[in-house]
Amino acid sequence: MCHTIKDTTLNGFYIPKERCVFINQWQVNHDPKLWGDPSEFRPERFLTAHDTTISKTLSEKMMLFGMGKRRCIGEVLAKWEIFLFLAILLQQLEFSVPPGVKVDLTPTYGLTMKPARCKHVQARLRFPIK
């Protein structure tokens, strides 16, 4: 478990020696100073000015797998798996919400954040099966 090795003060907060410290990943990934309106779905924020490649500057500030020596060792494999899975899904299916349905994306908070269950998504094949 990660803990402080000596009494310290960080941004005016006193943290005693041997105190367990957690990084608030949700706060890092939802900082309005960095992301503008972090709860607004804007995937273009990760693109370069030419909208052709992913901006490393912003994408590297996203903290998905922890940080430091305790970060997830499967990060690279997981990112490739997620990319391939989503690419195939988005290539083959068209996702939508029925007209007039408002989707609530408010998560459940705790030590970890659990996304709200979305019950109203429809998936339809993009191309007919022959």
Is 2 part of any known ligand binding site?
A: no
Task: Give the DSSP H or E segment for 117.
Answer: none
What's the token pair of residue 120? 């109203």
Number of H helices, E strands in the chain: 4, 4
Compute the distance between CA of residue 34 and CA of residue 30 in angstroms, rounded to an integer. 8
Bind-site residues for heme: 72
- Binding-site residue ranges: 72
